[in-house]
Every structure is written in C-alpha cells, then in structure tokens.
C-alpha cells in the first residue's frame, strides 16, 4: 500500500515517519522548501525527541519528502492520502481553512487527471469543525466532476497525539477513530493500522470531527476546573494537588489532567476551544462552559504575578528570573505558552527579566526580542535575580538550585509547601 501525506507539520511528520517505520512506502508533500531540505538530510524541523532517529532510519528508504507542486502528477500511484495541514485560528477564533482548500486544489488536480481510473482514499487528519470534511468532499466533486464513493473515497480520522510524546502516542494510542462513508474504507484504514493495538471506532465524518474537538475541550475543561478550585484553595490554605489526588481516586473522575497551575497553552487547546466556541456562536447556541474555560485560562497566569506582587511589592527595576518558557516540558514550542502573558506583565511593570529555557529560547526571542535577557542555564538566572518564577515543568528545575531565593511556582515543579521562600499558585 502506498501512502501520501500532505503537510510536514506535527501530525503529518509523525504520521509519515511512523508509517514508513512500519514498512509502508510513504511520500510526504509540503510547500516549505527549508523544511523539505532539512528533512531530506535527516533533520527534524521540530523538537520531538524520538522522531529524529526514526527519520534518519527511514529517509530515502521508505520515506521521502518533496514539494507539494509535484503531488498532482503522482497521485495515481497512491492508495491512501492523509491531509495533515494546519488549521490555525482566525482573528474571531474560527478556523482558517486556507491550507485545507489549497491541499484540496492539489488533490482535485490529481484526481481530475486520473479521471476516475483508480479509487484513492482521502483521509482528513487535520483538526476541522464538524461538517468540513463533507464540504471538502463536495468541493472535490465539483472541481473534478467525479463522484465520491466510486471514484474516490473520503474519511476523517482525528489525531490525538501530544507534543513531546508524539511517537509513543502514535504507536500506543488510547483509541483510533475513523469517520467514513463506506464500510470498505473503515476496513482499509483499520487494516492499515493493524499494528496498533487499541480500540478502533467506526463512525461518520462529522462525528469523528466532533470527537476531536470534544476531547480537547473536555481536557481543557478539566484543567480550568481544577485551576478554579485551586484559586479558592489558595485563599483557604488548601493544596489543589491534594484535592486532585482525592478526586482522582474516584474512577469516574480519574487523576489525569487535574494538575493545577498557570493554565493550558500550546497549538491545540486554546485554538480548538476557541474554534468550538465560534461554531456555537455561528449556530446561535450558548457555550457557557467553554467560554468560562477560556476566561479562566486567560486570567490564570496573571494570578501567579499577583501572588508574587503581594510579597515582593513593586517589580520596578528588579531583576526577575523566569525558568521555563515553552508551553510545557519536552518541547521548544512557545505557541500560546502561559509564560507569554507572565513575561509581558513583568516587563510592563518595569522588571528586568532574565529567562532560561532548555529548548525554547530561539522561539522565545521571536516573541520577546530584546525586551528580556536570555541566560544559558538555570543557575545563571538564579544567581542574577531577586526572585524566580518557574513556568515550565522541565525536570532540571526540580533540582535543589534555588538557595535562599524566593520562588513562585506555576507548575508545581517543586514539592515545597507554600510559605517561607516558596509560593505556589494553587497550593
């Protein structure tokens, strides 16, 4: 079976490289020449620890990558094509489908030249609002004059992998969801992924799309929920992690995603919850829960600044250390990182910020530029600063490195009880 993948972003790369590693011949297409040349030399354009060894092993063998302009002429050689392009937020929170439709134009060109000679299954893996894959199908039909079902198949299979753990999540997912219009497409996809041992669910296109949004929105809700409980707990002298432990022992609740802190960031939760809220609005339905989830998440990082301010007074002219800038440990990704509003607040209060992150400094420079200083290790930050904010749970920040400095912990990286030199946000 020959597999094509459009988009060499997070989802596209992991899908391509992991399927190639399982013995499939995989061709990936992207429009970014820098990415193509990096990948062709075996280097990953993203920081994902276990990806590069698999990439090096498979590049030029089962896996290759080239410009998407070459795709239409080659489409006939492929059995399944995954669409893994980005679906960023527009200004109003709704999804920008420009990349989806640009991929659709390339697919349409290829399908048209095939003229229905071979049935290729197009599988949308990008996160798209319910109804999008069906619209895409109609768009392809209109552009090519072909009929879905007979001439080409369409499916929607959401991706649930986490950054930093993406390869592991690909091979050992909790479940796979295949939204299809025909039984044979479910059979094809479940046999393609037969090497993955997990429950596989067959459903329709728009339910598959909704499962992805509802899953991310639910996890984001758990986080904002425990943060809200933790904010009250902070006032009452109650540790949110003890509360979460007690709650999590109830198997109906479970212990995961109840880690209180400065909130959720990354390329997915904020974008997906906003997109879902925008869809509620478009359908004129109240999204009270999800709007609150976002509102809590917006305020949450600034509460840590308030905790510090209560104790330190004004930040003006003070050297303030920031350990951790990435949206979570194990990645260099700064997108929607909760460190961004914290650093901006400190700078606007007149603090001299000195920051360190083991991986995200290059990306941080693109956001903060010379507004802050960048150190090359944690000890340097601690020695130069009056007090320290810990914003990402990198394991090296757990070490006993703080001496007598005041520490404000947004990620429960230190097991310390609040009081003395140490303050947590929700404990």
Q: So which residues are the catalytic ones?
A: 268
**Minimum distance between the CB of residue 286 and ligand UGA, rounded to whole angstroms?**
24
Do the Cβ atoms of 328 and 315 come closer than 8 Å?
Answer: no
First to last CA, the chain: 53
Q: Which of residues 203-222 bind ligand UGA (CB under 6 A)?
A: 216, 219
**Minimum distance between the CB of residue 386 and ligand UGA, rounded to whole angstroms?**
26
Q: Cβ atoms within 10 A of the Cβ of 84, count?
A: 27
Nearer to ligand UGA, 109 or 238 (CB): 238
- Asked if 163 is part of the footprint of ligand UGA (rule: CB under 6 A), the reply reads yes
- Point out which span in 159-167, 179-187, 275-283, 308-316 binds ligand UGA (CB under 6 A): 159-167
Among positive and negative, which fits the CA dihedral 235, 237, 241, 242? Answer: negative
Give bridge partners of residue 34 from the DSSP assignment: none
Do the Cβ atoms of 354 and 381 come closer than 8 Å?
Answer: yes
Candidates 43, 90, 147, 162; binder of ligand UGA (CB under 6 A) is 162
- Asked if 175 is part of the footprint of ligand UGA (rule: CB under 6 A), the reply reads no
Q: Cβ atoms within 10 A of the Cβ of 419, count?
A: 9
Cα Rg of the chain (Å, integer):
23
Do the Cβ atoms of 290 and 221 come closer than 8 Å?
Answer: yes
Query: x/- binding map, residues 244-283, to ligand UGA, per CB under 6 A?
Result: -------------xxx-x-xxxx-xx--------------
Q: How far apart are CA 369 and CA 251, in angstroms?
A: 46
Q: How far apart are CA 106 and CA 103, in angstroms?
A: 5
Candidates 47, 193, 241, 327; binder of ligand UGA (CB under 6 A) is 327
286 Cβ contact list (under 8 Å, min separation 6): 280
Candidates 56, 116, 160, 214; binder of ligand UGA (CB under 6 A) is 160
**Minimum distance between the CB of residue 222 and ligand UGA, rounded to whole angstroms?**
7
Compute CA distances 15 → 18, 32, 85, 140, 372, whole Å: 5, 18, 12, 23, 37
Nearer to ligand UGA, 62 or 87 (CB): 87
Determine the size of the site formed for ligand UGA (CB under 6 A). Answer: 20
- Asked if 161 is part of the footprint of ligand UGA (rule: CB under 6 A), the reply reads yes
**Minimum distance between the CB of residue 314 and ligand UGA, rounded to whole angstroms?**
29
Candidates 35, 328, 406, 412; binder of ligand UGA (CB under 6 A) is 328
- Asked if 409 is part of the footprint of ligand UGA (rule: CB under 6 A), the reply reads no
Using CB under 6 A, list all residues that contact ligand UGA.
159-163, 216, 219, 223, 257-259, 261, 263-266, 268-269, 327-328
């Amino acid at each position: 079976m020959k597999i094509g993948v459009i988009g060499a972003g997070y989802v596209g790369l992991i899908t391509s490289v992991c399927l190639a590693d399982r013995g499939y011949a995989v061709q990936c297409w992207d429009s970014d020449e820098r990415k193509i040349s990096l990948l062709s030399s075996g280097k990953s354009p993203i920081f994902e620890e276990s990806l590069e060894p698999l990439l090096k092993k498979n590049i030029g063998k089962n896996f290759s990558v080239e410009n998407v302009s070459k795709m239409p002429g080659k489409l006939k050689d492929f059995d399944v094509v995954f669409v893994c392009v980005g679906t960023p937020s527009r200004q109003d929170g709704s999804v920008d489908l420009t990349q989806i439709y640009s991929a659709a134009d390339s697919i349409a060109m290829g399908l048209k030249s095939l003229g229905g000679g071979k049935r290729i299954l197009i599988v949308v893996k990008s996160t798209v609002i319910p109804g999008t894959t069906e619209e895409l199908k109609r768009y392809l039909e209109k552009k090519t004059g072909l009929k879905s079902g007979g001439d080409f198949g369409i499916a929607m299979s959401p991706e649930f992998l986490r950054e930093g753990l993406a390869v592991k999540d690909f091979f050992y997912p909790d479940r796979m969801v295949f939204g299809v219009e025909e039984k044979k497409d479910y059979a094809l996809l479940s046999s393609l992924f037969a090497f993955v041992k997990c429950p596989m669910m067959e459903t329709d296109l728009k339910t598959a799309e909704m499962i992805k949004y509802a899953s991310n929105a639910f996890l984001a809700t758990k986080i904002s929920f425990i943060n809200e409980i933790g904010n009250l707990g902070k006032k009452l002298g109650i540790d949110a992690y003890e509360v979460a432990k007690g709650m999590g022992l109830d198997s109906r609740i479970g212990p995961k995603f109840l880690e209180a802190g400065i909130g959720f960031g990354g390329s997915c939760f904020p974008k997906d919850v906003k997109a879902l809220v925008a869809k509620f609005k478009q359908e004129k339905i109240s999204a009270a829960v999800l709007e609150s989830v976002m509102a809590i998440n917006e305020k949450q990082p600034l509460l840590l600044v308030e905790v510090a301010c209560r104790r330190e007074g004004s930040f003006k002219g003070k050297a303030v250390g920031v350990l951790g800038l990435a949206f979570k440990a194990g990645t260099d990704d700064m997108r929607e990182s909760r460190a961004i509003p914290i650093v901006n607040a400190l700078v606007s209060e007149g603090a001299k910020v000195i920051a360190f992150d083991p991986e995200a400094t290059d990306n941080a420079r693109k956001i903060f530029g010379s507004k802050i200083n960048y150190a090359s290790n944690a000890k340097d930050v601690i020695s130069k600063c009056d007090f320290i904010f810990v914003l990402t749970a990198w394991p090296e920040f757990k070490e006993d490195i703080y001496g007598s400095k005041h520490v404000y912990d947004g990620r429960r990286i230190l097991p310390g009880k609040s009081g003395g030199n140490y303050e947590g946000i929700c404990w």
